[in-house]
A and B are shown apart, each in its own frame.
Chain A
Amino acid sequence: MTRGTFRLAAAAAALCTAVAGAASAAPVKIGMITTLSTGGGYLGEDIRNGFRLAMEQNDGRLGGVDVELIVEDDGRKPGNARQIATRLIQSEGVKVMTGSVFSNVAMATIPKIVRDGVIYISPNAGPAKLAGRLCHENYFNAAYQNDNFYEAMGQYFTDEGLDNVYLLAPNYAAGKDALTGFKRYYEGNVVGEVYTQLGQTDYAAEIAELRDADPDNVFFFYPGGMGINFIKQYVQAGLDESIPLYGPGFSADNTLVDAVGDAALGIVNSAHWSKDLDNPVNRRFVADYTERYDREPTLYAAQGYDTARLIGSALAATGGDVSDTAALREALAAADFDSVRGDFRFNTNHHPIQDIYVRKVVREDDGNLTNQLVAKVFDDHEDAYAGECALGQ
């Protein structure tokens, strides 16, 4: 070996080491398969925006570790989501995933993903089965269990002595869960219970029936476009003056309120978060989000933000190592981060134990419509399915 070749070999070896060094510090890949198209697309967009904001506030890092966020659109189709998940896991080597917005997509993808040894943190969907019988050590929910908001509204009715309620929801699984959740804590009289077709656009017939039934209060669950249609038509019929509307936070998130306009004023709704929750993390989140995206955050954005910071807390604890699933799991379960919701910890089934509030749509001084806190309904609320979950028993 001549001196020249030796030098070359040494240089190559040095280069190799350098590359290997860089490889060990390669960013942690986080797969986000969420819903960005269809009428529900704004939910996924808000979750993604909230998540990205948490990264941007820390120069692209979470928990001091470089992360790469891979965002994919599932188009609200379970088949798409499954395909993308397989690709991310097999070709990209993704070990941590998040993103699911709709429960039907979640049910079709999450059980398989977590069986493959990947950690999944749901930023929104919280179907009952994943909280109960089908709970899994690799599955976490950073948002809520689906029934929580309805339960809170039922409890609020009971606390406030509100009675003679008329219930409306679309005729599908989540609609029935919503009314069941409400009735779990509601003790008064139900005047009428109506299930409408999923995706219905015109509610004139139901509204005429409702007026005829003459209830004192209305509780409705219409997510997305159905909610906009229903609220507008309800107000046009002049019913909001005599019979107040109550619903879950999904029916009065800021995007919906903006789309409905003045008709949304006064709607009372339940949620785990509100813009005016008074804690430093939330104040900073709301200010930064409004500045970055030029609109107020929704509860979905808050969930995306919390999901990112939860992952950050776990990455900080493991030093950015995602190959040791057990350690990562343990760090996630500790939920060692400051949530925009204030109190936040995980139950044995990896679903949140948190406070649930009631909010009301009001007009701010600058004319902007927004939600304002009215009351705290539940303190450290647990979901109804934790007992069916075999974890921690």
Chain B
Amino acid sequence: MQLLLEQVLNGLQFGVTLLLMASGLTLVFGIMRLINLAHGSLFMVGAYVGATALAYTGSFLLGLAAGVAAAALTGMAMEALIIRRLYRRDHLDQVLATFGLILFFNELVRVVWGRQPLSMDTPAWLSGHVTVLPGVPYPSFRLAVIAVGVAVIALLYVLIMRTRVGMRIRAGASNREMIAALGVNIRLLYTLVFGFGACLAGLAGVMAAPFLAVQSGMGEDILILTFVVIVIGGIGSIRGAVAGALLVGVVDTLGRAYLPDLFALWLPPASAGTVGTALSSMAIYVLMAAVLAIRPQGLFGGAHD
């Protein structure tokens, strides 16, 4: 029972990392109808700059600020220089161009920081563990990640639902011609939204850096899962991104932990291990297929259309 609770906690924590990525990506898609494969590169930029700033200043919070700022600036520069030309193109062009950006950023990182993966240590005040349940020490840093995720969900809610900018963002997602006709500077709004999405990606990057390898191409592994999240949640829906991320995090973690045991109930141990391992790596894709079969627009998708 304790183990199950711990695994659910692990799943939530993994889901939160995915959420930070997915909310930015889905925001950009919902408002600009843009598929941005280079979102993972912003995650990488956040992690690299965060790790470097930490190495120079020794302060995790400064590293965090630097990583988030660098990702936001990179994102906005990317929007102004390249992405802006893609809004009127079809999705294939967007995919090709942003895939090109992935290659560019991976190579850039290699030129600037070299091929050796960087190290980013957990700050001392977060490197211990907290006993969440008797006999279950849980790493404090993972708890901090969950806390940051909850804070971001709250921030997103307030921003989107309670502010004027948020109202424009929602309006832009529903009908962008109309909002432009009403005199809203849609260009600036797009850059701001893109920058905000990049901010969240950078935040995810810095928060992931202490327990992931900071290396060129690190954004792609998480990008694939992020796309699964927003497809499950409904493309363009923030609420969908929250639900999808937590669902994917928990299903993936519990699948890895329990599917092999489940199959051991009626299969010999050797083949139960093989089948369980194979199936657990497919679990989230099975989940995605099931969701799409029942609700092709995703859990919360299509609300505005």
Contact = CB atoms under 8 A, between A and B. Distances in A.
| A interacts with B | yes
Interface string A215-238: 000000000111111001100111
A14 interface: no
Nearest to B255: A205
Contact of A237 (B7, B129, B218, B277): B129
A391 interface: no
Interface in B140-163: 141-142
Interface residues of A, number: 42
A208 B10 contact: yes
Interface string B213-225: 1111110011000
A28 B210 CA distance: 47
Interface in A256-296: 256, 258-263, 295
A201 B218 CA distance: 9
B10 A39 contact: no
Interface string B246-287: 000000011011000000000000000110011011000000
Contacts of A233: 139, 211
Contact of B110 (A37, A194, A204): A37
A237 B256 contact: no
B174 interface: no
Interface in B195-252: 208, 210-218, 221-222
B148 to A, nearest CB: 16
Nearest to A298: B116
Contacts of B218: 39, 225
B210 A232 contact: yes
Contacts of B256: 196-197, 205-206
Contacts of B116: 42, 255, 258-259, 295
Contacts of A38: 216-217
A360 B217 CA distance: 29
Nearest to A224: B213
B53 to A, nearest CB: 16
A36 interface: yes
Given A204-B10, A236-B142, A171 B215 contact: no
Interface residues of B, number: 48
A42 B211 contact: no
Interface stretch (B22-30, B31-39, B119-127): B119-127
A324 to B, nearest CB: 38
A195 B14 CA distance: 19
B80 to A, nearest CB: 28
Nearest to B122: A236
A199 to B, nearest CB: 6
A204 B14 contact: yes
Contacts of B257: 205-206, 208-209
A255 B117 contact: yes
Interface in A88-141: none
Interface string A176-201: 00000000000000000111110101
Given A202-B17, A259-B213, A261-B121, 13 more contacts: A37-B106, A38-B216, A39-B213, A41-B115, A41-B216, A42-B116, A45-B115, A193-B273, A201-B221, A205-B11, A212-B3, A228-B117, A237-B129
25 contacts: A37-B107, A37-B216, A38-B216, A38-B217, A42-B117, A193-B273, A194-B277, A197-B277, A199-B221, A204-B142, A205-B257, A206-B256, A208-B7, A212-B3, A224-B213, A228-B117, A229-B213, A233-B139, A236-B141, A237-B139, A238-B137, A259-B116, A259-B118, A259-B213, A261-B120
